[in-house]
Structure 1
Amino acid sequence: MKKLLKVLATGLPLAVGLAVTGPAAAEQVKVGVAAEPYPPFTVPDASGKWSGWEIDFADAVCAEAKLDCVITPVSWDGIIPALNTKKIDMIVTSMSITAEREKTIDFTDHYYKVPTLVIGLKDTQFEATPEGLNDKILGVQASTIHQAYAKKHFEPAGATIKEYQTQDEANNDLAAGRVDAVQADQLALQTFLDSETGSACCDIKGSVAPDDDVLGQGVGIGLRKGDTELKDKLNTAIKAIRENGTYAKFNAKYFDFDVYGE
């Protein structure tokens, strides 16, 4: 039976697990998502209910793996410490698999992979290169691969890097003309460009040059080191929903192409 994800409100006791058929209840796990909205992947409404592509993904994976999952919002910059101190059991919030992160946590196989873009105001012409951004203010979300990439490639060439707690804040400052450009993954930026505000102000300047050391090998579920049993369950579930059509079904609700990537 497909188990619905339940939102765990901050400071409240853990919700009682749903009853399941069979001799034993499903294993309950806390699924950490960034408390900051990241449309179209994770978006809370006024009541605290979460929706979005990654919520549907987590729901499908948990159902396939027979896990009783509880959505647990955590501040982005504290989400890895929350995992390692067992406040949550896994991270499903567009976290890229990088060598630096793999020093402290483990990852499942990737579950989506898309290019990294730079967008800017329509009335300015420049490319998504160190030379193109050498006199520009570039907005990035703090504690992300995009911040690390901008610091490594664009700041030394003369760009001014402005950091934000959420991507929405960076996008809003771009629309207001307070920064010249922002960098993020293709899907998050396309959602903004498809909005009334984004389509009026901004366009794509290009994809950044590859850097697997910084940008990683796609997005995976973050896990504690040594949690191999859960990792195996989740990898099996990711493969299964890819093969049985579940992934394609919820993917089509948000995108007109397969975001799984290579």
Structure 2
Amino acid sequence: MKNMIKTTALTAVVALTASMGLADVKVGIAAEPYPPFSEKGADGAYTGWEIEIIGAVCAAMEEECEIVPVAWDGIIPALLSERFDVIMASMSITEERMQTIDFTDRYYSTPAVIVGPKDSDISGDPASLAGKIVGVQVATTHANYVDAYFSDTAEVKTYSTFDEHNQDLFSGRVDAVVADSLALSGFLASEQGAGYEIKGELIDETIFGPGVGGGIRKGDTELAERLNAAIAQIRADGTYQEISDKYFDFNIYGGE
């Protein structure tokens, strides 16, 4: 990562840069594991596609950046209280969130899906979930979708982390989960996920928005412009594709 990324505990958000000053840009991420985008290794360092993209964006801006891990359900309040400058944590750009914060241009887009047992008749049709229990991570666009479409027919169980609802699906405590298709791909490819499959793709741009972007405080236009220029630069010079090719065999950016 060319020393452009420094990790920090939430209680120690000031890190030393190479120049022994303060980090130029602090980047908030979700502390919870969300592979292949971000997860914390045994050595305490965060790795993953989104972590590498953060590093590339910071390099393009010629800035020292510091990663600040925060619990997902408190990440917007942490941004507003100036614990960091931008959220880069697979946050979908939505009208609801834009009432509170602004966003950069998108830097990836993947569809939401519902996953259930291969031998079940569960689908994206709310009627197929009558009497079922659906798991979803709290404070996400996926939770908003479940509330809008499935709560009248199914029991909804919310979780603090993505991994928790996958474990309950495997354990039989929920009948299906709703989440990002790419994030679920690791579970489906695992031994635990062998008996499960995508039962339907879920589409509602009003809820899911046009993709994932960096969340910034309202009025921080200078930072937004610099981040947008950096995102455009790494896409144009091949850095974005080079990083993505290490993780994916498809176009994660989505259609133009």
- Quickly name the TM-score band, shorter chain normalised: over 0.9
Query: What SS is found at the alignment partner of 1:204?
Result: strand
Are 2:32 and 1:36 equivalent residues in the alignment?
A: yes
Are 2:199 and 1:205 equivalent residues in the alignment?
A: yes
Are 2:118 and 1:118 equivalent residues in the alignment?
A: no
Q: Against the structure 1 CA distance between its residues 89 and 139, is the aligned structure 2 distance closer, same or farther, given a 3 Å change threshold?
A: same
Shift in Å, 1:154: 0.8
Are 2:223 and 1:251 equivalent residues in the alignment?
A: no
Letter in 2 for 1:5: I
Query: TM-score with structure 1 length normalisation?
Result: 0.93
C-alpha RMSD of matched pairs (Å): 1.7
8 Å contact 2:113–2:181 — kept in the other structure?
yes
8 Å contact 1:27–1:66 — kept in the other structure?
no
Shift in Å, 1:26: 9.4
Letter in 1 for 2:182: L
> Could you list the per-position Cα deviations for residues 114-160 of structure 1 after superposition, in whole angstroms to 9, with x for gaps in the alignment?
1111110123122112122222111000010011110011112x111
Structure 2 unaligned runs (5+)?
none
Query: TM-score with structure 2 length normalisation?
Result: 0.95
8 Å contact 1:95–1:221 — kept in the other structure?
yes
Aligned to 2:215: 222
Shift in Å, 1:30: 1.0
8 Å contact 1:121–1:175 — kept in the other structure?
no
Residue identity over aligned pairs, in percent, reads 51
Q: Distance in 2 between matches of 1:103 and 1:248?
A: 32
Aligned to 1:233: 226
Shift in Å, 1:13: 5.7
Aligned to 2:148: 152
8 Å contact 1:42–1:55 — kept in the other structure?
yes
162, 170, 177: which one aligns with 1:175: 170
Are 2:93 and 1:100 equivalent residues in the alignment?
A: no
Structure 1 unaligned runs (5+)?
none
Q: Distance in 2 between matches of 1:149 and 1:87?
A: 29
Aligned to 1:187: 182
Shift in Å, 1:214: 1.0
Q: Against the structure 1 CA distance between its residues 27 and 10, is the aligned structure 2 distance closer, same or farther, given a 3 Å change threshold?
A: closer
Q: Distance in 2 between matches of 1:196 and 1:115?
A: 23
Shift in Å, 1:27: 6.3
8 Å contact 2:49–2:243 — kept in the other structure?
yes
> Could you list the per-position Cα deviations for residues 61-117 of structure 1 after superposition, in whole angstroms to 9, with x for gaps in the alignment?
010011211010001111101101101110010000000000010000000011111
Q: Distance in 2 between matches of 1:143 and 1:27?
A: 29
8 Å contact 2:5–2:55 — kept in the other structure?
yes
Query: What SS is found at the alignment partner of 2:95?
Result: coil
Q: Distance in 1 between matches of 2:12 and 2:230?
A: 29
Aligned to 1:5: 5
Q: Distance in 2 between matches of 1:155 and 1:36?
A: 26
8 Å contact 2:35–2:186 — kept in the other structure?
yes
Query: What SS is found at the alignment partner of 1:119?
Result: strand
Q: Distance in 2 between matches of 1:242 and 1:55?
A: 16
Q: How many residues align?
A: 255
> Could you list the per-position Cα deviations for residues 151-177 of structure 1 after superposition, in whole angstroms to 9, with x for gaps in the alignment?
011112x11111000010000110111
